[in-house]
Amino acid sequence: MIGLFLNVETAYKRIKKSTELELAVEANTEEQDFIADKTPTEILQNYTVSLAQDLTMIKGEEDFEYIYEQFYNAIPDNTEVKTKCLIVFMFDGDKTAGYKAWETDCNILFEGMNGVDSKINFTINFGDIRKGTAKVSDGTITFEEEVEA
């Protein structure tokens, strides 16, 4: 199980009313034709990570209120929605020590609003990912970046 959180104003809020939570990971590679090899070698350059969401519109829910406000303002103004995103690997840790987590600066791109299904569709595109630990205290989630040795 993983948890998705977006930074709303000054605190992380969980995206709770979505029916999808699949991290899309795309390997960006380059082909090198080394003189000692018979065939070209594919070398990893980096990974591109994104997360498609279909948020159910429920008035009063913090996740909907935030996403709807961004949708309402960003589309007519053609502005980017930038925030921080936190992915918490809730199967890897515990409430006391915390859970392994990724934090990233992200860009939210809207794809549509379906009034019949009551959904706002958007994609969260990740920037550079910081590894660390997420902890919950008094209902507030915090992230502490991992210090590399």
Pairwise CA distance, residues 45 & 50, whole Å:
17
pTM: 0.88
Average pLDDT value for residue range 61-74? 94
* pLDDT for 109 beyond 90: yes
Q: How confident is the model at residue 137 (pLDDT cuts 50, 70, 90)?
A: confident
Q: What share of the chain in percent tops pLDDT 90? A: 78
Average pLDDT value for residue range 123-139? 93
* pLDDT for 36 beyond 80: yes
